[in-house]
C-alpha cells in the first residue's frame, strides 16, 4: 500500500482527519511514582484504552522525537526516552492498526547522512512518514522520497511565530520563499503522491492560498498549530472545503491540548476525562 492509499483508507476508516501529537512532558503526567519509561508506558496504555472504549480514533499519530531523546542520558548509557518511544510505537500498532504514525524529526542533511536519517525513520523506528526540512535541496530531500510506501512532509509554511523570518522573505521573482518551496514540493511529488507539506493553521490566508494550489496536485497536508498555538480546526476545515482540497489527504494536528490539557502538573484526578473531552471535540470538528 502506498502512503497516499494509507492516508485515504485510514481517514475513511475512522471518519476524521485528526492527527494526535504525542509530545508529552513526564512532569505533567500521572503515576509520578514510576520511572520515566514505565510512567509514559502506563499513561499511554490507559489513554489508548479509554480512546478505544470511547470510539475516539484519530486518523494519524505524530510523536516528536525531541520529547523522547531529551529523556535519554547517553553518556551514562541510559536510554529511557528512546525505549519509551519504542514502547509507544508498539502500543500504537496494537491499539490502532492501519493508522499512520508520523515521526516528527524534521531531518535534513545530504548524501549518505540523509540516507541514514531516512533509514532511521523508516527501517529502525518503522514510521509511516517523517517531517523533513527543505533548505539543503534535492540531494537532502531525495533519500526520503524514493519509496512511495512512506510519506514525507516537507516544511513549507510553519505555525511558529518565527517561521516568517525566512519563509516570508520576498525573492527576486517577487514571491515569498514559502511559495517557491511549495512549487518545489509539487515537483518532488510529481508522479509519486506521497510527498506532502507542513503548513500551519496559524496563518489562515496563507494556508488558503497554499491549500488551493495543493488541491489541484493532491499534495498531502500536515497542519499543526491547532489548539495551544491558537489555530482553529473549524476554520481549517472550512478553508479546505472552500478550495476543494481532497480532505482524506490532510491531517490536522493538535498535541498538548489532547495529551495534557491541564498544562501544569500534577495531573488532576480526572485527567482521562479531560483528554477524552478534548479529543472528542477535535474529532467532531475534523469529521469527514
| Residues labelled catalytic | 106
d(CA 104, CA 153): 9
Q: Provide the greatest CA pair distance for the chain.
A: 58
The values of phi and psi at residue 160, to 5°, are: -75, 145
Closest residue by Cα to residue 27 from 36, 14, 18: 36
d(CA 273, CA 267): 12
Query: Bridge-partner residues for 287, per DSSP?
Result: 16
Closest residue by Cα to residue 225 from 213, 215, 235: 235
Q: Provide CB contacts within 8 A for 132, sequence distance 6+.
A: 106, 107, 108, 140, 141, 144, 152, 153, 154, 155
Amino acid at each position: 500500500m502506498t502512503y497516499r492509499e494509507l492516508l485515504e483508507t485510514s481517514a475513511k476508516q475512522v471518519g476524521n482527519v485528526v492527527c494526535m501529537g504525542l509530545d508529552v512532558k513526564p512532569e505533567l503526567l500521572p503515576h509520578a511514582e514510576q520511572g520515566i519509561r514505565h510512567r509514559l508506558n502506563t499513561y499511554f496504555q490507559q489513554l489508548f484504552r479509554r480512546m478505544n472504549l470511547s470510539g475516539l480514533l484519530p486518523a494519524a499519530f505524530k510523536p516528536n522525537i525531541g520529547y523522547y531523546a531529551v529523556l535519554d542520558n547517553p553518556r551514562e548509557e541510559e536510554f529511557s526516552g528512546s525505549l519509551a518511544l519504542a514502547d509507544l510505537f508498539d502500543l500504537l500498532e496494537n491499539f490502532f492498526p492501519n493508522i499512520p504514525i508520523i515521526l516528527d524529526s524534521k531531518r535534513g542533511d545530504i548524501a549518505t547522512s540523509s540516507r541514514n536519517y531516512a533509514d532511521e525513520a523508516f527501517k529502525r523506528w518503522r514510521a509511516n512518514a517523517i517531517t523533513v526540512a527543505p533548505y539543503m535541496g534535492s540531494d537532502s530531500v531525495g533519500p526520503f522520497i524514493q519509496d512511495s510506501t512512506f510519506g514525507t512532509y516537507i516544511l513549507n509554511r510553519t505555525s511558529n511565530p518565527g517561521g516568517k523570518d525566512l519563509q516570508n522573505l520576498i525573492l527576486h521573482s517577487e514571491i515569498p520563499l514559502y511559495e517557491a518551496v511549495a512549487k518545489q514540493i509539487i515537483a518532488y511529488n510529481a508522479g509519486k503522491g506521497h510527498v506532502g507539506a507542513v503548513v500551519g493553521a496559524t496563518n489562515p490566508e496563507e494556508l488558503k492560498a497554499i491549500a488551493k494550489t495543493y488541491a489541484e496536485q493532491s499534495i498531502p497536508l500536515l497542519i499543526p498549530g491547532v489548539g495551544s498555538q491558537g489555530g482553529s480546526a473549524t476554520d481549517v476545515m472550512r478553508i479546505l472545503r472552500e478550495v476543494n482540497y481532497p480532505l482524506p489527504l490532510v491531517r490536522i494536528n493538535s498535541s498538548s491540548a489532547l495529551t495534557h490539557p491541564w498544562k501544569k502538573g500534577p495531573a488532576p484526578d480526572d485527567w482521562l476525562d479531560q483528554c477524552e473531552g478534548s479529543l472528542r471535540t477535535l474529532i467532531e470538528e475534523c469529521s469527514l
